[in-house]
Amino acid sequence: MSTEAASPRNPFPTVDVIVERGQGRVLLIKRRNPPLEWALPGGFVDYGESTEDAARREVMEETGVSVLLTELLGVYSQPDRDPRFHCLSIAYIGRSRDLVSAGDDANEVREFSLDDLPDLAFDHERILRDYAHFKDTGARPRPTPDGEPTIS
């Protein structure tokens, strides 16, 4: 009989950031690693790092811009939101006018209108739909019984 405690198995904490560029435009990155689609800037929270610091770091690494975080949009935690493993994401809204430069996990970075988005990785279409609703109404996504935010 082993006396070792079982290691906890928890979701990986991540952040996603909607970087506003003005006139209904947001920054997206073209991912360098699978899945190879467009995505919100973001990534894993390092041990000992706050989610706010992780959000600012990931945006800087992937887009080359400093971001001012302005809002917490919501938490997205569906076990299948990332095809690689179970992650939960804290989604922030921020803004930046800095010049962009793709780096780290990004092959490319571009501004997109919310009315003309490319195919997106993960659940980023849902996050951006919730964001658009928040911008239109001021209502943040509400928790639902299945654990995912929803617009009302």
Cis peptide leading into residue 35 (ω within 30°): yes
Q: What is the dihedral of CA 72, 55, 59, 135, to 10 degrees?
A: 0
Question: In the numeric block, which tokens belong to residue 40?
Answer: 């919100």
Is 108 designated active site? yes
Question: In the numeric block, which tokens belong to residue 16?
Answer: 């996603």
Determine which one of 108, 111, 125, 148 is catalytic: 108
Instruction: Say which residues have a Cβ less than 8 Å from residue 35's Cβ, sequence separation at least 6.
Output: 83, 121, 122
Q: Which residue type is seen at 33?
A: N
Whether 89 contacts 126, CB under 8 Å: no
| Residues noted as catalytic | 108
